[in-house]
Amino acid sequence: MRLVGRGLACVRGGREVFTGVSFAVAAGEALAVTGPNGAGKTTLLRLIAGLLEPAQGEFELIEGAPDTAIAEQAHYLGHRDALKPALSVRENLEFWYAFLGGRDAPAASTVAALDAVGLGPLTGLPAAYLSAGQRRRLAIARLVAAPRPIWLLDEPTAALDGASQDRLTGLMRVHLTGGGIIVAATHAPLGLPGVGELRLGGP
């Protein structure tokens, strides 16, 4: 599998965010999208996720699932954790599991995902009571509960303490070892070997 972007340009509010951006990342590889604030890192991830349309250029997923859009083969982890405060930790994840088309028994998949991010003991707690770091970990659990080959991560370590960052690094390693792809907009190192870099908005 190979995710390719060719000649990409984005214009928002009449302003050119970036132009002439191309990249390629293969199965088992991670790409760090770097650059100053406002350079278009988040915008690029949203373009790949199908949430925005490029002004120019195209994406191609080579050897992906046939007749399935790239967006349906990708997880997008944005700045907002997208949780319902009144629902419990488990209920939030079960909602996302169903929405993302999880195929196995939801109980088994969600329990395993919550254990993977260290939230197993908090399954019945309303999300309103979670700390910022715990909310981020619950959002990350979606990546594990309903597997998809492409992870689009926007500042994935935001609000995570050292132990949680190490846990995320472990999950990313497992994803890559299994042939997954990671594209991450980040100011911080991902803690992975051999990460490629695409820098926007500067030398």
Per-residue confidence (pLDDT) for residue 181, from 0 to 100 = 97
pLDDT of residue 109: 79
Helix (H/G/I), strand (E/B), else coil: 176: helix
- pLDDT at residue 43, rounded to an integer: 94
3-state class (DSSP) for residue 47: helix
Least confident interval from 99-108, 118-127, 174-183: 99-108
- The pLDDT value recorded for residue 120 is 92
Q: What is the mean pLDDT of residues 3-25?
A: 92
User: Domains in the chain, please, with CATH?
Assistant: 2-199 (3.40.50.300)
β-partners of residue 25 are 3
Amino acid 105: pLDDT: 57
- In the numeric block, which tokens belong to residue 186? 């980040």
Calpha distance 10→192 (Å, rounded)? 29
Q: Which two tokens stand for residue 154?
A: 């926007």
User: What pLDDT does 198 receive?
Assistant: 95
Q: Looking at the predicted structure, is the pLDDT value of residue 152 above 60?
A: yes
Is the pLDDT confidence value at 106 over 70?
A: no
| Model pLDDT for residues 49-90, shown as the tens digit of each residue | 999 999 999 999 999 888 889 999 999 999 888 899 999 999
pTM of the predicted protein model:
0.93
Mean pLDDT of 128-134: 94
What value, to the nearest 5°, has the Cα angle with vertex 180 and ends 23 and 127? Answer: 105
Q: Are 173 and 167 in contact (CB under 8 A)?
A: no
Could you report the per-residue pLDDT of 176-195, keeping only the tens digit for each? 999 999 999 998 888 898 89
User: Would you state the pLDDT for residue 14?
Assistant: 81
